Structure 1
Amino acid sequence: MRQEDLPVPATGLLLTHFLTVADVARSRAFYTDVLGGEVVLAENPCIVKLANSWLIMNPGGGPTPDKPGVTLRPPDDPDTATSFLNIRVADIDACYRLWSGKGAEFLTPPIDRKAELRCYLRDPDGYLIEVGQATGLLRGVLADPPAGNG
């Protein structure tokens, strides 16, 4: 582990994303072998540097003194999401082919959504991951409103 690879800001703040996972080794392999991340710390917690961000992964568990009353667990319903990772890429078709070839299972191929090309996949715990490439947005074309919002 190199200290410069740890998500520790010199000033201000740095955003990371924590995932509660059922099997740390399985999730670590997905984020490194399939998505191309780099293991910074293998366990306790697992830290994977992915492009210019970090994912922190640990198994679930009960309340702790700093989060009383909160229990962490992986998603139990893959068809309901309250948040998801959003990965922006320069070439979504190349990304789709590369990650599919490494075993990623996408819900659909990339779809033109006017402002962007977009598709989704799931990690081994069922977390939803959006992969998008800005297209129309670069010309001022905005996305359609979310489904059910007119």
Structure 2
Amino acid sequence: MTTSQGDLPVPEHGLLLTHFLTVRDVAVARRFYADVFGGEVVMEENPAIVKVANSWIIMNPGGGPTPDKPDVTLEVPRNGDRVSSFLNVRVADMASFYTHAVAKGAHFLTEPIDRASELRCYLRDPDGYLIEVGQSTGLLRGILAARPNGDGGATDGPVA
């Protein structure tokens, strides 16, 4: 596969943000992000890079320490029920995205839920990484998601 420098996550100035995932099977993960999120495969492997909208997801298998991260081992999630971070994807049309993703084989934890400030749902990728998909609705009119105790305001993630 050939790539052009314009396809790679290389900033012309300043910085840009990419997201790295440690994956079990690079081909399966690469296909998931390309198919479900309409991503463009920029590199097939070593590492795999998929450009999704205005961002890039970089995927490679796990492994032990390297000279630049001497005490760090990369591995896929062991338990998908406990997470410390997740990918947050914002869409313009939740219904269209949800229909497309399900048709491509995505499995959501629930259907989209109306939280007053946004429509939101979660899915997992083939390695168990949690992905939030949201569409701002009431937030655009200043309506925030209710706190679990009912006093208004968002508590469990970004509001935009």
TM-score (structure 2 length as normaliser): 0.89
Residue 56 of structure 1 corresponds to which residue in structure 2? 58
* Paired residue type of 2:13: T
CA distance in structure 1 between the partners assigned to 2:70 and 2:27 by the alignment: 27
**Residue of structure 2 aligned with 1:20, choices 2, 14, 22:** 22
| 3-state secondary structure, aligned to 1:130 | strand
Deviations 1:64-88 (A, max 9, x none): 1111100000101011111111100
Indicate whether 1:2 and 2:4 are aligned: yes
CA distance in structure 1 between the partners assigned to 2:41 and 2:69 by the alignment: 27
**Residue of structure 2 aligned with 1:83, choices 66, 85, 88:** 85
Deviations 1:45-75 (A, max 9, x none): 1110001100000000001111110000010
Residue 110 of structure 2 corresponds to which residue in structure 1? 108
| 3-state secondary structure, aligned to 2:59 | strand
Indicate whether 1:69 and 2:71 are aligned: yes
Task: Extract unaligned runs of 5+ from structure 2.
Answer: 150-154, 156-160
Judged with a 3 Å threshold, the aligned counterparts in structure 2 of structure 1 residues 4 and 22 are, in CA distance, closer, same or farther, namely same
| 3-state secondary structure, aligned to 1:118 | strand
Task: Extract unaligned runs of 5+ from structure 1.
Answer: none
CA distance in structure 1 between the partners assigned to 2:71 and 2:50 by the alignment: 28
Judged with a 3 Å threshold, the aligned counterparts in structure 2 of structure 1 residues 76 and 146 are, in CA distance, closer, same or farther, namely farther
User: What percent identity do the matched residue pairs reach?
Assistant: 70
Give the drift of 1:144.
2.6
* Paired residue type of 1:116: E
| 3-state secondary structure, aligned to 2:120 | strand
CA distance in structure 2 between the partners assigned to 1:67 and 1:112 by the alignment: 42
| 3-state secondary structure, aligned to 1:57 | strand
Judged with a 3 Å threshold, the aligned counterparts in structure 2 of structure 1 residues 76 and 4 are, in CA distance, closer, same or farther, namely same
Deviations 1:99-140 (A, max 9, x none): 101110011110011111000000000000100000111011
Count of residues paired in the alignment: 148
| 3-state secondary structure, aligned to 1:67 | coil
What stretches of structure 1 move > 6 A for 4+ residues in a row? none
